[in-house]
Structure 1
């Protein structure tokens, strides 16, 4: 039995490290190029198993070399991949991640089949047996259907909708979940600029998305400045950890892994934020989207 099921993107990432991000009509030098499994749901699943939380993945890949490699990599880490759908009429989604010397990132996506799965690909008994469902960016109707099923079964749900929260039609899903993960830019989009620092003011500032978040606990990630939980009128804050960022790819996914693992263990919001920020900091300090998380590796940061 998996304690957590992650549903969303499973990709193949090609990470290009460059000396600088070029201006329009400019050029940069590629210092290294590395291919590896990626995708937000897959990254969170990998992080959770590193933190000793049995986790399964619901997603989809093409019937090709990239898909086989991405699934094999996750399975080798201990992620249950039985609910990953093989699609024979399309390619695995490939993301080209460009990282400069300061760790800043931009992403180019090649279309693929990472949203070809649907809610019916996850058996009801698997969701009923799970303690938690974590949703990441996916087809809005799939996210809503999964959230409905989980709610009916009494399974708690978190959602990290990603950078397209404002234009993907996630309102129905957002109304159903227990936690929503947002970074500062996404929070400003979802809540409206005026409401970003006042969760109680979401209605009327963020439109339909803001209204959908009124009854939801927000977990807002401030990057190197830490993170906070906004639970109604209560706020819980952690300042984060000072690290030299090498590659911020996947840091938000690692944060989600730490927060979910901590809450499942019964930790307070303050402790969950400390653990989540430590996971994000470790990932930002190393190249690649999937730093190997473990409680042993977190100890030094958590003792500060």
Structure 2
């Protein structure tokens, strides 16, 4: 096999395999992860209405919706489908780790209420003890990975597009880095093959000519990776610290009365000054952190103003 064909084959196989992985496996997973973080930023009532809407698409309607309007936020709802009665239990918060106790409580409520079954929904995770407790009962467990497909199409379209855009941009970035690695791997395969191949007096000049392009290709492959490696994907703790630093800085900015992170992708700003005066300062703080530079900013009008709420971004991916 030609040494150049070997290098090309190694590069294409490894690059295509990595691209398929990041696009078809990691991208949906990242989209789900960003989406669940966005759900955890909703208010309790908003999350409950979202889950109830998902159940309505199954044909399970709230049995007493008029009572819900006048009550404080609740976690258990009675649903009906024809003559069937189902209990829905909502556990709001991505930090939830459902063990056996909540499942057993729902099972007891089903027996007391003479319902056909129950559904437990949470953005968190159901532990093994919770799944074991649900065995033998007519209880469906909808934790994060199972809940997201149910509610994905029901969240605000602009937020859904932002989540998908964020996951797609990350997949493209990682796929680009993987292609640089694939080129390096192909060059190394060429170098190894040329070193192990028997050399005769007639192929010595050809072998010498091949080593130089392989080394040059290795250098060319490694050099562009430097700017990519300079990007540091923040951990959860680092991202939260960056978000706090942005709020702290904006609280000292004239014309801004308050800043609140509604989700990890959305920043709400209350202002008393004109948008033109405060927008450069907002972007200055957000663009200090690459992970926050594409944040969706909700600019609320000054109190008593007739101006509409504005949505802007400092930088698009």
Same fold (TM over 0.5): no
Q: Rg larger in 1 or in 2?
A: 2
